[in-house]
Amino acid sequence: MTTPVIDLQNVSVAYQDKIVLQDITLSVSPGAFLGILGPNGSGKTTLLRTMLGLTDPFDGTVRVFGKEPKKLKRLREKIGYVPQQSHIDLTFPIQVKDVVLLGRAYKMGLGKRPHNQDREAVEEALELVHMTDFADEQFGRLSGGQRQRVLIARALALQPDLLMLDEPTAALDVGAAESFYEWLHNTHKNLGLTLVLVTHDVGVVSRYVTAIACLNKRLVAHGLPENVLTEEGLQAMYGCDAVFFHHGKVPHLVVSTRDPEKT
């Protein structure tokens, strides 16, 4: 078996004394397209942040490309991340093309100026999200959906091997979301990059992903879409109290609760 791109073993995460993720064991193999589903507050964003080393688990091990997230060093160049919410100051005087270019800040090397290949990557990325015409606009003056597209372009400009997307289409109109997923699907097929996508859109998930993780503080279900996306499966995550799941070769015992507070 090849080393998984992401490997979590019994990972638990807490904010102060509140446990947000408990005993998560999950791996993502190269070229996989993992969809993460779960109700609000179920820990999806926290899971991505843990994978990126932005949040430290109090228990368990996290490996990305076989390394601890804090020790990825240059392997970080291979990871693109589109955050759900960004704390960006909208009054910041910066142009769209520079926002995208800064995605490559580390890749360019400390103290190095952008080269032609950097600018080309920026142009390509902006083209992919149809924002070329806005390259010289001030970032803060775009609409929410346009800003989200720019943040997607920023992740793409890295030409990543692993792309993590946290509800990337939440602010996109239907057409843009549709074409974005279309593009994502094709890129995944053609380039074989590994995708982790957090979404509430079950339709997208069932059509494109190769694996699903249902989260509600614990990993409620994990496996192939056709096994997980059953009526009971979704109910388990968003509703009733305890359900057994069998998927893949390994049967999993899965416990879920409506309210992650109560476990």
Partner 1 sequence: MIDLMQFTFMQRALVAASLTGAVCALIGVFVVFRGMSFIGAGISHASFGGVALGFVLNINPLYTAIGFCVLVAWLIGWVTEIGRLREDAAVGIFFASTMAMGVLLVSLIKGYQIDLFGYIFGNVLAISRNDLIAMAVLALLVFLVIFFFYKEFLLLTFDAEMAAVTGLPVKWLNFLMLTLMAFTIVLSIKAVGIVLVSALLVIPAASAVQLTAHFKKAIIYAVFIGVVSCWSGLFLSAFLNIASGATIVLTATAVFFICTFLSPQRRKMRRRIGTLVKTQNS
Ligand X SMILES: Nc1ncnc2c1ncn2[C@@H]1O[C@H](COP(=O)(O)OP(=O)(O)OP(=O)(O)O)[C@@H](O)[C@H]1O
First CA to last CA distance, the chain: 35
The residue written with tokens 């074409």 in the block is 179
Answer positive or negative: Cα dihedral of 169, 96, 86, 36.
positive
Answer positive or negative: Cα dihedral of 143, 149, 150, 152.
positive
Interface with partner 1 includes 158 (CB under 8 A)?
yes
Least separation, in Å, of the C-beta of 91 and partner 1?
A: 5
Contacts of ligand X in 157-176 (CB under 6 A): none
Binding mask 70-89 for ligand X (x = CB under 6 A): --------------x-----
Least separation, in Å, of the C-beta of 160 and partner 1?
A: 10
3-state secondary structure 61-76: EEEECCECHHHCHHHH
Identity (one letter) of the amino acid at 205?
V
Whichever of 84 and 210 has its CB closer to Mg ion, that residue is 84
Identity (one letter) of the amino acid at 99?
V
Binding mask 21-60 for ligand X (x = CB under 6 A): -----------------x-xxxxxxx--------------
Output the CA–CA distances (angstroms, integers) from residue 4 to 10, 30, 115, 135, 162, in the order listed: 16, 6, 33, 37, 11
Whichever of 14 and 75 has its CB closer to ligand X, that residue is 14
Number of residues located near ligand X, criterion CB under 6 A: 11
Interface with partner 1 includes 72 (CB under 8 A)?
yes
Interface with partner 1 includes 98 (CB under 8 A)?
yes
Contacts of Mg ion in 64-93 (CB under 5 A): 84
Least separation, in Å, of the C-beta of 102 and partner 1?
A: 4
Cα 129 to its chain centre, rounded Å, is 17
Interface with partner 1 includes 94 (CB under 8 A)?
yes
Least separation, in Å, of the C-beta of 45 and ligand X?
A: 3
* Buried-exposed string 116-136: b where 16+ CB fall within 10 A, e elsewhere: eebeebbbebbebbebeebbe
Interface with partner 1 includes 116 (CB under 8 A)?
no
Cα 114 to its chain centre, rounded Å, is 27
Whichever of 98 and 232 has its CB closer to partner 1, that residue is 98
* Percent of the chain as helix, strand, coil, to the nearest 5: 40, 25, 35
The residues binding Mg ion (CB under 5 A) are 44-45, 84
The residues binding partner 1 (CB under 8 A) are 52-54, 72-74, 76-77, 79, 81, 83, 86-95, 98-99, 102-108, 110-111, 113-114, 138, 141, 154, 158
The residues binding ligand X (CB under 6 A) are 15, 20, 38, 40-46, 84
